[in-house]
């Protein structure tokens, strides 16, 4: 992707998702006072997908789109259960599981107790084909930990769905692919900034500064960490 990437087509899942996230103010741009992530990385962008749970109309639209995109990516009947990653993935997994008429599980960040199912809550048999669901993906690190826990418990995991994917850290996708996992997302930062620009959600100078980060997140990090 590049800063010249055009906005997604109107009516597409990416456009609808970006617009919904902008409307509920889940999208935050702050180039002059960057956000600090838990990893220590600085960024002028922050997405709060957890806000979706408080907006019934937006969440219904996005979960309907999620099922369409999941079935497009994996095919119908590809899963036996839907698993949410603790904690942000749990509500989205529940709504998707209900729409797909499938059992739901959730995966803990750390094992509770001992045994094969120590990190998995719910009923799961050996060989269950599981879709891992979370709210967003940055570099894919937490996804691999959840995938490993599910596989250790006997699940087959080849797909991960997120509402939002940063789309600027290709190494994250490469790590997931190397682990045999395909990532499906409704929208990226490229989609979101394009829709924000097209519909005037933020001042143009703010969008230009954010685009400079999206073009070179590592360079932007070094420049601002030094400053």
pLDDT in tens, 26-81: 999 999 999 988 778 899 999 999 999 999 999 999 999 999 999 999 999 999 99
How many CB atoms sit inside 10 A of residue 219's CB? Answer: 11
- Cα 126–Cα 68–Cα 14 angle in degrees, nearest 5: 120
Q: What is the pTM of this model?
A: 0.93
Computed over every residue of the chain, the mean pLDDT equals: 93
Query: How long a stretch of residues is the chain?
Result: 227
* Eight-state DSSP code of residue 126: T
3-state SS, residue 172: helix
**Which position has the token pair 């992530």?**
37
Domains contained in the chain, CATH given: 13-226 (3.40.50.2020)
pLDDT in tens, 83-126: 999 999 999 999 999 999 999 999 999 998 888 888 999 999 99
Task: Point out the least confidently predicted range of 61-65, 172-176, 209-213.
Answer: 172-176
Cα–Cα distance list, 96 to 54, 62, 125 (Å): 16, 10, 20
Read off the tokens for 105: 């599980």
Task: Point out the least confidently predicted range of 4-13, 61-70, 134-143.
Answer: 4-13
- For residue 3, pLDDT over 80 is answered with no
Task: Point out the least confidently predicted range of 16-25, 35-44, 160-169, 210-219.
Answer: 35-44
Nearest to 58 by CA among 92, 97, 100, 87: 92
Read off the tokens for 217: 């997140």
- pLDDT value of residue 226: 65
DSSP E strands, the chain: 27-29, 35-36, 42-43, 45-47, 81-85, 104-107, 120-121, 129-137, 156-165, 182-188
């Amino acid at each position: 992707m590049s800063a010249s990437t055009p906005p997604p087509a109107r009516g597409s899942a990416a456009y609808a998702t970006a617009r919904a996230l902008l409307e509920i103010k889940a999208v935050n741009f702050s180039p002059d006072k960057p956000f600090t992530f838990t990893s220590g990385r600085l960024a002028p962008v922050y997405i709060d997908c957890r806000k979706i749970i408080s907006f019934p109309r937006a969440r219904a639209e996005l979960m309907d789109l999620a099922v369409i995109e999941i079935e497009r990516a994996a095919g119908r009947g590809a899963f036996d259960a839907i698993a949410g990653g603790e904690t942000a993935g749990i509500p989205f997994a529940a709504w998707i599981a209900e729409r797909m008429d499938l059992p739901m599980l959730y995966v803990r960040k750390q094992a509770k107790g001992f045994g094969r199912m120590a990190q998995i809550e719910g009923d799961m048999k050996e060989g269950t084909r599981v879709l891992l669901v979370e709210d967003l993906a940055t570099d894919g690190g937490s996804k691999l930990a959840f995938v490993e826990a599910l596989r250790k418990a006997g699940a087959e995991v080849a797909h991960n769905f997120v509402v939002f994917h940063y789309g600027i850290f290709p190494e994250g996708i490469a790590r997931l692919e190397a682990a045999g996992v395909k990532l499906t997302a409704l929208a990226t930062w490229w989609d979101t900034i394009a829709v924000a620009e097209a519909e005037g959600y933020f001042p143009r100078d703010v969008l230009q500064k954010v685009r400079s980060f999206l073009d070179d997140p590592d360079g932007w990090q070094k420049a601002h960490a030094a400053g």
